[in-house]
């Protein structure tokens, strides 16, 4: 599955979440849908892109570091984060400032 975000003019921020999943769904699919719906309602959320094969990559885009911090601390999101060991063998989060972009 792949999604494409609508991006605003830089600068903005990207949260890059890379992961390797555990076997089985364990409620992951439904929770992932809920997290996207919830994130999309958060102040500062711009959009997201995701792809998964052996390694999953999800990039969410935000207007500020404060909006990223607020999302990380969201109570419902924190509950999902607490289930990480059920869903991931490993994961990494990177936060980057996007200075420019180009493409078609």
pLDDT given for residue 2 in this prediction: 47
pLDDT given for residue 3 in this prediction: 55
With CA atoms as reference, report the closest residue to 60 among 74, 72, 47, 70.
47
| 12-97: CATH number | 3.30.70.100
What is the residue-wise DSSP string for 38-63? HHHTSTTEEEEEEEESSSEEEEEEES
> Which pLDDT tens digits describe the chain residue by residue (104 residues)?
445 566 678 999 999 999 999 999 999 999 999 999 999 999 999 999 999 999 999 999 999 999 999 999 999 999 999 999 999 999 999 999 999 988 88
pTM: 0.88
């Amino acid at each position: 599955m792949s999604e494409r975000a609508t991006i605003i003019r830089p600068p903005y921020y990207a949260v890059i979440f890379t992961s390797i999943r555990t076997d089985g769904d364990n409620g992951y699919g439904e929770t992932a849908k809920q997290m996207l719906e919830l994130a999309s309602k958060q102040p500062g959320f711009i959009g997201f892109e995701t792809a998964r094969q052996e390694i999953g990559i999800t990039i969410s885009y935000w207007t500020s570091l404060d909006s990223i911090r607020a999302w990380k601390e969201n109570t419902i999101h924190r509950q999902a984060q607490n289930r990480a060991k059920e869903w991931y063998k490993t994961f990494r989060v990177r936060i980057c400032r996007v200075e420019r972009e180009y493409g078609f």
